[in-house]
Structure 1
Amino acid sequence: MEMDASQIGNWVSTLIELATKYGPPLLLGLIILIIGLKVINKTRVVVGRGMRVAGISENLVPFLSAVIAVGLKIMLFLAVAGILGFDTASFVAILAAASFAVGLALQGSLSNFAAGIILLIFRPYKVGQWIEVCDKFGRVAEIQVFNTIMLTPGNKTLIIPNGQIVDNIVTNFSERNYVRLELAVTMPYGEDFPKVQAIILAVLRTTPGVLETPEPLVGIETFDSHNIVLTVRPYVSPDDYWPVTFEVNQRIKSAFHQQRIQVAYAEGIELGAIGG
């Protein structure tokens, strides 16, 4: 019984020593962990609200808020581990090595990710706008973190990596709410230009979709070998680009026919030998 009492006394003294040594740091670490998690959750809500007020895209707000929260939690856990006496240098080294390995493996994806962040923050174009990028023309259907999805006038879906968009010139046709059509009309040398110009302007004024302001322009672009090339430049809404293009061409053809305006064409075709 004396041995048992002695052992119990040793255990009690050991427990008291451990509690004295590790109890305060453990209690302090637990308190900091609980308070820190509550502060991080509150910070995430406040940061998300601030980003919305700043006009950052709604698609980006949840992601950035989560990234900030994860970063703060990692710092919190490292701080708590340091209070408990753990060597945090090894954790930091492992985390840095893992981040470096992942960065090398996902180098292309990370460049598209970074480009997506830039696009969602600075917004050179928005969903619903008509743009041309990488020699592709279409309406922006969705801006994702890694890709931008566009719909062409032919109803084809284009998925373009954001890295390519950032590295190329983007033409936004919807930013000013109107675009200028570039139409070419040929006129024989024998016709009177002021007369043809008046006919085309009359057609433009009566064509639905052609804007009154800015005023449409009709001028001589160049002199070809068999005809004069006229440039017709009406302004339209981006959504009316193709319908108005087809309608203007059809009405100009009809007006030329009614006013007996001759159509310019080559008088003959010369045939030559092919090959040697």
Structure 2
Amino acid sequence: MLTQVEKYTELAAQYTTEYGIKILGSLLIFLIGRWVSGKVVALIKKAMDKAKVDPTLVSFAVNATYVALIILVIIAAISNLGVETTSFVAIFGAAGLAIGLALKDTLSNVGAAVLIIFFRPFKVGDFIEASGVMGNVKSMNLFSTTLTTADNRSIIIPNGALIAGNIINYTGNEKRRIDLVFDIDYKDDLKLSKEVVLNVLLSHPNVLSEPAPIVVVGALADNSVQLYARPWVPVDLYWDVMFEITESVKLAFDANNISIPFPQMDLHVRRGEL
């Protein structure tokens, strides 16, 4: 007859063998499942990149797919331990609801990400202005969008805040108009000045012929006549062309003796009788 100690030892060995195998199996399910999930996500990303899908949509789809697969792997691993998955899913759903209510502001960013993906007001690489900042869209995930400014700063904007206001996409179209203002003196030859500016625009290799550039008298200011120049350029060359045209117009004005006036005030002194 087995002693009490032998009985408990045998029982412990039995449970250790039975549950140890289940725990080891669950651990293998999780590790293998996570590895397979990574491979599946990598294949999806490769296929979408090959199909030239928008990078923003690729990032969103990859992240969402990976999260869903990991949840399924965790449920499968727990089910292997003998836990009733139906009740577990119910508990998980209730916990998810409670967490969702507690993190409603954070989860609103996920909803905002879905709207951005659906309406696509911008894509990765576009230069936008939103939430009071400007920059190139570097990346986007379920919760936030990262912009890189012109001076190479990274700005992270929650997606909810991003779509709460206006979004200006400066590179959403292929062409963009440059708005330039050049001041000339009232004594200068107006027709010659317009011709000089227009020749600079027409001679620049990156100024588009359609729509045609124009030069008009925009305003008669206090100290100058203002010429408005409106050339159209490829959107990715906007800044380069604007700087080059500004310099070329100044040099052309100097060559044609056209002056650029500065604000001034004439003061008349009247001598009173002593």
Q: TM-score scaled to structure 1, two decimals?
A: 0.67
State the partner residue of 1:226.
223
State the partner residue of 1:239.
236
**Which of residues 247, 251, 260 in structure 2 aligns to 1:250?**
247
**What is the alpha-carbon distance in structure 2 between the residues aligned to residue 265 and residue 139 of structure 1?**
36
**What is the alpha-carbon distance in structure 2 between the residues aligned to residue 130 and residue 87 of structure 1?**
47
1:91-110 equivalence runs, <5 A: 94-110=91-107
Q: Which amino acid aligns with 1:190?
A: K
Distance 1:157 1:269, change over 3 A: farther
1:86-235 equivalence runs, <5 A: 94-235=91-232
The answer to whether the 8 A contact 2:75-2:85 is kept is no
Q: Deviations over 1:104-163 (max 9, x none)?
A: 332222111221222233322112222222232222222222222222222222222211
Give 5+ residue unaligned stretches, structure 2: 1-32, 268-274
**What is the alpha-carbon distance in structure 2 between the residues aligned to residue 179 and residue 140 of structure 1?**
19
Instruction: Count the aligned residue pairs.
Output: 227
- The alignment-based identity, stated in percent, is 31
State the partner residue of 1:31.
none
The answer to whether the 8 A contact 2:173-2:235 is kept is no
**What is the alpha-carbon distance in structure 2 between the residues aligned to residue 108 and residue 59 of structure 1?**
22
Distance 1:93 1:108, change over 3 A: same
The answer to whether the 8 A contact 2:174-2:235 is kept is yes
Give 5+ residue unaligned stretches, structure 1: 1-36, 271-276
The answer to whether the 8 A contact 1:120-1:143 is kept is no
1:63-74 equivalence runs, <5 A: 63-66=63-66
**What is the alpha-carbon distance in structure 1 between the residues aligned to residue 211 and residue 145 of structure 2?**
32
Q: C-alpha displacement at 1:87, in angstroms?
A: 11
The answer to whether the 8 A contact 1:130-1:238 is kept is no
Q: Which amino acid aligns with 2:230?
A: R
Distance 1:140 1:100, change over 3 A: same
Distance 1:138 1:213, change over 3 A: farther
**What is the alpha-carbon distance in structure 1 between the residues aligned to residue 108 and residue 266 of structure 2?**
55
Q: C-alpha displacement at 1:96, in angstroms?
A: 4.0
Q: Which amino acid aligns with 1:107?
A: K
Structure showing greater Rg: 1
**What is the alpha-carbon distance in structure 2 between the residues aligned to residue 154 and residue 71 of structure 1?**
41
Determine helix, strand or coil for the equivalent of 1:255. Answer: helix
